[in-house]
Amino acid sequence: MIYLRSVIFALALIVFTPPYALIATLSFPFRPITRYRVITGWARIMLWILKHLVGIQYRVEGRENIPQVPAIVLCKHQSAWETLALQQILPPQAYVLKKELLWVPFFGWGLAQFPIISIDRGAGQTALAQVIEQGRKLLASGIWVIVFPEGTRTVPGTKRRYKMGGACLAAEAGVPVVPIAHNAGEFWRRNAFLKYPGTVTVSIGPAFDAAGMTPDAINARAEAWIEAEMRHISPERYAPA
């Protein structure tokens, strides 16, 4: 059944992604927030299929910690699942992503109409400047910015070095930072075809004001909360501190 459910989800991606990409492309004359609401319909459909046909559900802890003003989210990255779910959990948002994704047929074409921060990962300090410049504009327009500080998806029970891009943007913009932990990788791992039924726990930590903090201090505070929360969410996978 796990294999059959995973096949159904793969077929759903094939069926729904091209027409939604066309809709997204045709939405370019509209305001960014209008395009966002149209395009996120695709995420809603995928999450519905994941819940009702694949068996992946989710619960959210800490909704009361979501601030009422635009913020920067520093989030654990284990799966493609969180890129869908955060669109439903949080206010309108933009992701920091590598520009090569915009070249992917259908998916990338639709993504290009989304509010995003596209960077050249090989550009070093230039890439960081792109994150700060584009991110400040989005925050000023009311769009949240989602950053995966580990840079790539991790295997449950492991962590990577937290990179400085999101923290530098937060220090420059002086907006709240919201740390988020989750265990989506236990049900949908990186580059995995098989998806396993279960309930993802998404834990939203207390927002903290980045104004006056250094990027190192911002990163350290977010990392400490996220990794401690991962040990709470998945104690069997993460060793005690």
pLDDT number for residue 241: 66
> For the chain, which domains are there?
2-233 (3.40.1130)
Contact of 108 with 183, CB cutoff 8 Å: no
* CB atoms inside a 10 Å sphere around CB 78: 28
The Cα-based distances of 163 to 13, 86, 215, 218 in angstroms read 31, 21, 10, 11
Report which of 161, 137, 141 is spatially closest to residue 151, judged by C-alpha positions: 161
Report which of 76, 64, 52, 61 is spatially closest to residue 157, judged by C-alpha positions: 76
What is the spatial distance between Cα 207 and Cα 71, in angstroms, rounded to a whole number?
9
Calculate helix-pair angle for 2-26, 32-49, nearest 10 degrees. Answer: 170
Phi, psi of 37 (to 5 degrees): -65, -35
pLDDT number for residue 226: 98
pLDDT number for residue 121: 64
Q: With a cut of 70, which residues of the chain have pLDDT below it?
A: 121-125, 241
